[in-house]
Structure 1
Amino acid sequence: MRLSPFRWLLLGLACPLLAACLVQSEQPDQAAQAIGAANLESIMLTSADPEDAISYFSRQTTENPNDIGARRGLAQSLTRAGRAAEGVVIWRQVLAHPEVSDEDRVGFAEALIRAGEWNEARSVLDQVPPTYETYERYRLEAMLADYAQDWGRADAFYETAAGMTTRPASVLNNWGYSKLTRGDHAEAERLFTEAIAYDPSVFTAKNNLVLARAAQGEFTLPLVNMTQVERAQLLYTMALAAIRQDRIDLGRGLLAEAIDTHPQYFEAAVATQRALDSGVRN
């Protein structure tokens, strides 16, 4: 639409420097683009398929090699995809950047733990000042204390981490597994049950709960929500636990129930049943 001379005059009075006005008028679009990019990165890091996120951030680091945000996103995506060793390589590049943060050091420590580099993870986390208090930091502190078998510190850090998030199922499950490995089966059962209460979708906690109950001689399924497939898998877990306790007849019965319960062919349970029949135990 063409503006009349009068409207051009008003525009000139309102903003004598037309170039400056044009720059200002572009700022909202630039801000919107920045917000859009930030939202896309957030989606890639949380909701997107990890491999898609890796592809996205790989392109970003190629186009903007000095952008620490893109390199950080690539490191996080690699770690989330289970490619921790590759993530460690990129995290080292992030830590060499002048804009590195304590949050980056915590992310690097997590990648190191996932890659099995526990001692270096301890060294990296020690570089984070004690005033930096986040859920992720305390969750890793708990895992490192667990690895060192420093049970008192592990329990303290697990408790602190669980209190710093509204979604503590994962850390409660880890804490419960720590208790399970120490032989504190009753406390492990309590923690697994609490984890499931926060997030009924965490199958690992359900499986661990069955193990904790079996260690106490309890071979019935816990009263938690489960799918038919999960029910079959949990019965199979109980069967294996019974067999390891030399309760062979109980194990046979649970194996048969697991096979009957599964809506499809339950290959692992059938193989175990055959091995048991031939005198070989898993």
Structure 2
Amino acid sequence: MMTLNRTLACWLTIVALAGAAWSPTLASPAASAIADARVADISRALDERRLVDAGRMLDQALLAGVQDARLDLLTGELQLARGRPADALETFTRAGAAPSAHAAARQGAGLALSLLGKSDEARAALEEAVAADPHAGRAWNGLGAEHDRRREWAQAEAAYERALATSADPAPVYNNRGFSRLLQGRLDEAVADFVQALERKPDMDAARTNLRLAMAMRGEYDRAVSGATPAEAAALLNNAGFAAAVRGDYRQADTLLTQAIKARGEYYQRASANLQYARDLAAGDQRRPTANADR
């Protein structure tokens, strides 16, 4: 129906890796308690997106000589959160050498590979993760996205169902499933999923943006752009204009995209390309779009 890029960054939420067994090199109860406390503190910092704190605590743990497979996994999660998937992949690959960390490491590696655009390898790693741990909710969520990329809608739906049943944080799953349904033209169901995501995480920008896009796809252009801040206006108008073009509402698309360009106050390549696309369609040119919605 349209080409919309899924933002997995946007979409990957770092969660605590509770339950991952730690390295047997820590044998004493005292050492175990210290490791457990450090892992809990770092996990909490990652959950709360306090990345500087998480990095500082990881550095302190390593300098203190704490040996625990979970620290490698948390280092990989921090690298993912900082937008360094190549480093994360290397870290997760190293962490996977510990049998106790295998499932979590394959999950992390699969998410990193997906961000790197290595879809086939990502899918294989994520399938390995859920085979090793059927409760690996983030791996199921990542598999859903990989199925979406292949337009394997039934498999994607099944993966998201498993993710919702096993994820500690369902908001990213609802967001991803909503986007999957948006791509399929199941607009009412998509809106419901984005609302579910926002009810669980009101500050989830990706879900809010996607909800506005779904409203625009239903022709609710005013609702799609209402309440936008000056910083948001250009991108939201672009998204609404693109949705109008996809719907065949070319006059409205022209209006919204022209407003997007004016709101940006400088050259807006994406909106300009979308405006040309809408005008080509209006003139009877059915070429596929070369631009898409802001994510």
TM-score relative to the length of structure 2: 0.65
Q: CA RMSD in A?
A: 4.2
Partner of 2:207: 205
Q: Is the 8 A contact 1:236 1:258 kept in 2?
A: yes
Q: 1:194 to 1:53 in 2, by over 3 A?
A: closer
**Secondary structure of 1:127's match?**
helix
Q: How many angstroms does 1:170 deviate by?
A: 1.5
Name the aligned partner's letter for residue 118 of structure 1: S
Name the aligned partner's letter for residue 122 of structure 1: R
> Cα deviations across residues 48-82 of structure 1 (Å, max 9, x unaligned)?
54355345435644664854232222111101111
* Residue in structure 2 matching 1:138, options 124, 140, 146: 140
In structure 2, distance between residues paired with 1:109 and 1:271:
30
Partner of 1:90: 91
The structure having more radius of gyration, on CA atoms, is 1
Q: Is the 8 A contact 1:221 1:234 kept in 2?
A: no
Partner of 1:239: 241
Partner of 1:16: none
Is residue 2:178 matched to residue 1:181?
no
Q: 1:202 to 1:43 in 2, by over 3 A?
A: closer
Q: How many angstroms does 1:225 deviate by?
A: 7.7
Q: How many angstroms does 1:216 deviate by?
A: 3.6
Q: Is the 8 A contact 2:225 2:240 kept in 1?
A: no
Identity %: 25
**Secondary structure of 1:221's match?**
helix
In structure 2, distance between residues paired with 1:270 and 1:75:
35
Q: Is the 8 A contact 1:54 1:78 kept in 2?
A: no
Unmatched tracts of structure 2, length 5 or more: 1-27, 281-290
In structure 2, distance between residues paired with 1:186 and 1:222:
14
> Cα deviations across residues 88-128 of structure 1 (Å, max 9, x unaligned)?
01111111235434223222222222222222233333434
Is residue 2:222 matched to residue 1:220?
yes
Partner of 2:174: 172
Partner of 1:125: 126
In structure 2, distance between residues paired with 1:225 and 1:197:
18
Partner of 1:107: 108
Q: How many angstroms does 1:174 deviate by?
A: 0.9
Partner of 2:197: 195
In structure 2, distance between residues paired with 1:228 and 1:167:
31
Name the aligned partner's letter for residue 94 of structure 1: A
Q: Is the 8 A contact 2:140 2:163 kept in 1?
A: yes
Q: How many angstroms does 1:151 deviate by?
A: 1.5
In structure 1, distance between residues paired with 2:222 and 2:106:
44
TM-score relative to the length of structure 1: 0.67
Q: 1:80 to 1:44 in 2, by over 3 A?
A: same
Q: Is the 8 A contact 1:61 1:71 kept in 2?
A: no
